């Protein structure tokens, strides 16, 4: 029975190392629905620097997983409101915030065809135009990305989602 355990661990290792394309998570959205310079915009409220992009759409527009992966958190946080967090290949965390409704559950496998929520204005986006805040955080640091910008040391962990869409 030990071989089953090793096959399982090998499968998990393989699944989370092979690169994976990232697709636009908001149904029908294009690159015209977010500002290309919003990533790492400063100053930006309590978080100081905007570490993702805001994709604008009408309320309740479907949000699909931008990548295949494992949902590791769904719930509510003060700034993000209704949020979903997906662990994808390459040890990347995909953070979806300000959802109106969550349509997935923790420990679910997702891919580009699975709806995980809908566009909203929850959390600190209340009263603002509905949008999805989408961030990609790498658990494997890229130290060569560090620069002298505000919070520039954090750039080794955050990737610009708009540069990774396929």
**Residue 40 confidence (pLDDT):** 75
In a domain, 144, yes or no: yes
pLDDT score of 100? 98
CA atoms within 13 A on the CB side of 123: 22
Here the CATH number for the domain that contains residue 153 is 2.70.70.10
Confidence of residue 35 (pLDDT cuts 50, 70, 90): confident
pTM of the model: 0.86
Taking the C-alpha atoms of residue 133 and residue 110, their distance in angstroms, rounded to an integer, is 19
Average pLDDT in the 132-155 region?
Answer: 91
Angstrom distances, CA of residue 18 to CA of 12, 13, 137, 142: 10, 9, 17, 17
Domain of residue 29, residue span: 20-163
Tell me, what's the pLDDT at 133? 95
**Tens-digit pLDDT profile for residues 101-133:** 999 999 999 999 999 999 999 999 999 999 999
Give the integer Cα–Cα distance in Å for 123 and 97: 8
Whether 71 maps to a domain, the answer reads yes
Rounded-to-integer distance, Cα 73 and Cα 105, Å: 8
Considering the chain, what percentage of its residues have pLDDT values greater than 90?
61
What lies within 8 Å, CB to CB, of 153 at 6+ separation is: 146
Residue 6 within any structural domain of the chain: no
- Residue 12: inside a domain, yes or no? no
Q: How many domains does the chain fold into?
A: 1
pLDDT above 60: residue 148:
yes
Question: In this predicted model, what pLDDT tens digit does every residue of 48-103 receive, in sequence order?
Answer: 688 899 999 999 999 999 999 999 999 999 999 999 999 998 899 999 999 999 99
Burial of 160 (0-12, 13-18, 19+ CB in 10 A): middle
Over residues 138-156, mean pLDDT? 90
Task: Answer whether residue 3 is part of any domain.
Answer: no
The CA distance from 32 to 56, in Å, is 9
Within-domain flag for 10:
no
Residue 8 resides in a domain: no
Residue from 127, 100, 103, 123 nearest 113 by CA: 103
């Amino acid at each position: 029975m030990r071989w089953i355990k090793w096959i399982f661990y090998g499968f998990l290792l393989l699944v989370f190392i092979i690169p994976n394309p990232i697709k636009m998570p908001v149904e029908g959205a294009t690159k015209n629905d977010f500002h290309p310079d919003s990533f790492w915009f400063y100053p930006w409220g309590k978080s100081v620097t905007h570490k993702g992009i805001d994709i604008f759409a009408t309320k309740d527009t479907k949000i699909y997983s931008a990548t295949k992966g494992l949902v590791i958190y769904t719930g509510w946080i003060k700034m993000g409101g209704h949020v979903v967090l997906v662990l994808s290949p390459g040890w990347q965390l995909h953070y979806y915030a300000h959802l109106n409704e969550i349509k997935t559950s923790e420990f679910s496998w997702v891919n580009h065809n699975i709806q995980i929520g809908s566009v909203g204005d929850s959390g600190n986006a209340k009263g603002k135009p509905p949008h999805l805040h989408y961030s990609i955080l790498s658990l494997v640091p890229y130290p060569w990305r560090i620069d002298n910008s505000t919070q520039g040391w954090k750039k080794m962990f955050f990737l610009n989602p708009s540069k990774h869409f396929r």
